[in-house]
Amino acid sequence: MKRFFFLLVVLGFLVNGKAKACTNFLITKGATADGSVIVTYNADSHVLFGELYFWPAADWPAGSKVDIYEWDTGKYLGQIDQVPHTYQVVGNMNENQVIIGETTYGGRSDLHHQPGAVIDYGSLIYITLQRARTAREAIRIMAELMDKYGYASEGESFSIADPNEVWIMEVIGKGEYEKGAVWVAIRIPDGYVSAHANQARITTFEYQKENRWDDPEATVFNSPDVISFARKLGYKGTDEDFSFSDFYAPVDFDGARFCEIRVWSFFKSINKQFRQNEEYFNYAKGELKHDKKLPNGHRNVDNFCTNRMPLYIKPDHKLTVHEVMNLMRDHLEGTELDMSMDIGAGPWHMPYRPRPLVWECCGKDYFNERATATQQTGFTFVAQARSWLPNEIGGLFWFGVDDPASTVYVPLYVGIKRPPQSYMQGNGSMLEWSDDAAFWVFNLVSNLAYFRYDSIHPIIEKYQQELEEKYIAYTPAVDLAANTLYDKDPDLARDFLTDYSCSTADNTVRFWKELFHFLFMKFKDFNIMKSQDMRLLDNGNNMNIPPSPYQPGYSPEFYKVIVEQTGKKFLYPKEK
């Protein structure tokens, strides 16, 4: 266990400075094509090394303690009591098919960094995954940990799911006022989807005087003082009108344009009626309203935002796992905010921008768009919880590293006995190169593509889609074989899943390294060499001499910009 929290310390240094980072989609089993629960997560940070976290199940002697270090700083926070048994964790999914993801929303600054608190949000995730059997048990464990040990982080939204239920839980500490945190959790109705992206999204809810943890009909849990604590801080409205997000983390321009825009883009892609609602798009662009009356007709005495998007919607169709993977790759394509279409995209229509997010020119502030797919992603996952299979087989953790738009999601079953070598913790770091570390191999390819995006990325996408489609097509056969073995010997089934998961992941990285070699040779020195599949062609004389390369130069639009800015400087004289 000490090793586990040593790794949390190291990871803490890596994820420091993650403002406006991370995106989660939450999809109930009634909204998916195969009946699985799906939760996604892009873990975005410019200094986060993408690797697979893996902790095997373990038993602990009575009286054991766990050292806790703050995930964002590495600061030692204290100790908590260990439990007798901890469950296996593969990434952000445990052996019971419980999934937890997060996005940081910050919220009121006076409620940040509670003095003496021992539990930060990173510890909250991974400790809970080691202890929880269901989603609602995970919520209860998180609440108990914060109550007992205090909450040391800023405001967080958590995605919490199991094979049957999907919940969104939003938390914020009590600052220097009191120990612990206030929070609310809402179950997403079956057949619906939700999302969060660095802006608190739970507004009004049915307040529970007492949480009914064992009631299968319960759809809301909350801290008992979630409203009374707000009144101490100045909330004036009725209990009925209380909005968690609008009081504890009011949405502003940043929260809408940089955060809610990612939720909007997901929702509009799967629901035509939502897509056609201009009010939602205006809100996501940062056009916020604070009407004198709330939507229910009551006076808006606390000046809440009155044109918020819904917490969840029903998609027009059942979502497949591959569709969800591709939705995590969004750059606002097909909208007026498409990042590949303005001058900032450069001559090769790159849908990325160098940071900072907000920049200054000529005495005024400007900003870049913040899309779901971004260059600084450390790791990304699409986790499936499947109720019809044994947990070791049902939990399918599709994992990728680096930019989700150029990564490949590889299938990792939660019953595996070891992680793949190329994704293993300790194989490379942000300060240490490793030739077979998945993170560095995928970065080689994606960073090459950024400088000739419209020519290179389509090749990346071709092989990305082919590999993922193949792995998805394999899944039923792998499930069947594993299930057959499981009936005879569960341990043998785990051996089979370990071999399949590890070989698939490691072979993907080896293939991706070959892809980098091919792309580098094909696009060297601004040329485009002729090729077939992943092989460069010679000129027909079998002497390893290529034919003359294609040299397309800039796009016509970019040549026009050059002429507009340089006038006659480069005007080529006509022959006399």
Contact (CB, 8 A) for 200 and 249: yes
User: Is there a domain that residue 510 lies in?
Assistant: no
Amino acid at 206: E
Q: Above 50 in pLDDT, residue 281?
A: yes
Residue 67, SS3 per DSSP:
strand
Q: In residues, how long is the chain? A: 576
Full domain range(s) for residue 168: 2-367
User: Is there a domain that residue 462 lies in?
Assistant: no
For residue 576, what pLDDT is reported?
Answer: 56
Query: Contacts by 356-363 with C-beta closer than 8 Å and gap 24+?
Result: 357/20, 357/258
| Alpha carbon of residue 159 to chain centroid | 10
Q: pLDDT band at 20, cuts 50/70/90? A: low
Amino acid at 34: D
Q: pLDDT band at 14, cuts 50/70/90? A: very low
User: Is there a domain that residue 520 lies in?
Assistant: no
- Give the residue ranges of DSSP H helices in 56-195: 121-129, 135-149
Q: Above 50 in pLDDT, residue 5?
A: no
- What's the pLDDT tens digit per position in 380-423? 999 999 999 999 999 999 999 999 999 999 999 999 999 999 99
Residue 545, number of CB atoms within 10 A of its CB: 9
Q: Which of 15-19, 159-163, 560-564 has the lowest mean pLDDT?
A: 15-19
- What's the pLDDT tens digit per position in 104-127? 999 999 999 889 999 999 999 999
Contact (CB, 8 A) for 39 and 23: no
- What's the pLDDT tens digit per position in 56-114? 999 999 999 999 988 777 789 999 999 999 999 999 999 999 999 999 999 999 999 88
Taking the C-alpha atoms of residue 551 and residue 563, their distance in angstroms, rounded to an integer, is 20
User: Is there a domain that residue 307 lies in?
Assistant: yes
User: Is there a domain that residue 372 lies in?
Assistant: no
The pLDDT mean for the chain works out to 94
Contact (CB, 8 A) for 100 and 196: no
Q: pLDDT band at 516, cuts 50/70/90? A: very high
Residue 343, number of CB atoms within 10 A of its CB: 9
- Supply φ then ψ for residue 146, to 5 degrees: -70, -40
Which tokens hold the place of 201? 């999204």
User: Is there a domain that residue 473 lies in?
Assistant: no
| DSSP string across 223-276 | -TTTTHHHHHTT--S-TTT--HHHHHS---HHIIIIIIHHHHHHHHHH-HHHHT
Q: Which of 67-76, 326-335, 429-438, 458-467 has the lowest mean pLDDT?
A: 67-76
pLDDT > 90 in the chain, percent:
92
Q: Quick one: CA torsion of 525, 530, 531, 535, rounded to 10 degrees? A: -50
Q: Quick one: CA torsion of 170, 174, 175, 178, rounded to 10 degrees? A: -160
User: Is there a domain that residue 457 lies in?
Assistant: no
Please report, for residues 145, 173, 175, 496, the alpha-carbon distance to residue 149 in angstroms, rounded to integers and kept in the order given: 6, 12, 13, 41
Q: Above 90 in pLDDT, residue 172?
A: yes
* Tally of domains in the chain: 1
User: Is there a domain that residue 221 lies in?
Assistant: yes
Smallest CA-to-CA distance from 154 within 109, 187, 123 is with 109
Taking the C-alpha atoms of residue 515 and residue 504, their distance in angstroms, rounded to an integer, is 16
For residue 78, what pLDDT is reported?
Answer: 96
Which tokens hold the place of 260? 């809610």
- What's the pLDDT tens digit per position in 204-236? 999 999 999 999 999 999 999 999 999 999 999
For residue 70, what pLDDT is reported?
Answer: 81
- What's the pLDDT tens digit per position in 295-304? 999 999 999 9
Task: Please give the average per-residue pLDDT across 6-31, as a whole number.
Answer: 63
Contact (CB, 8 A) for 57 and 95: yes
For residue 47, what pLDDT is reported?
Answer: 87
For residue 73, what pLDDT is reported?
Answer: 75
Taking the C-alpha atoms of residue 445 and residue 167, their distance in angstroms, rounded to an integer, is 36
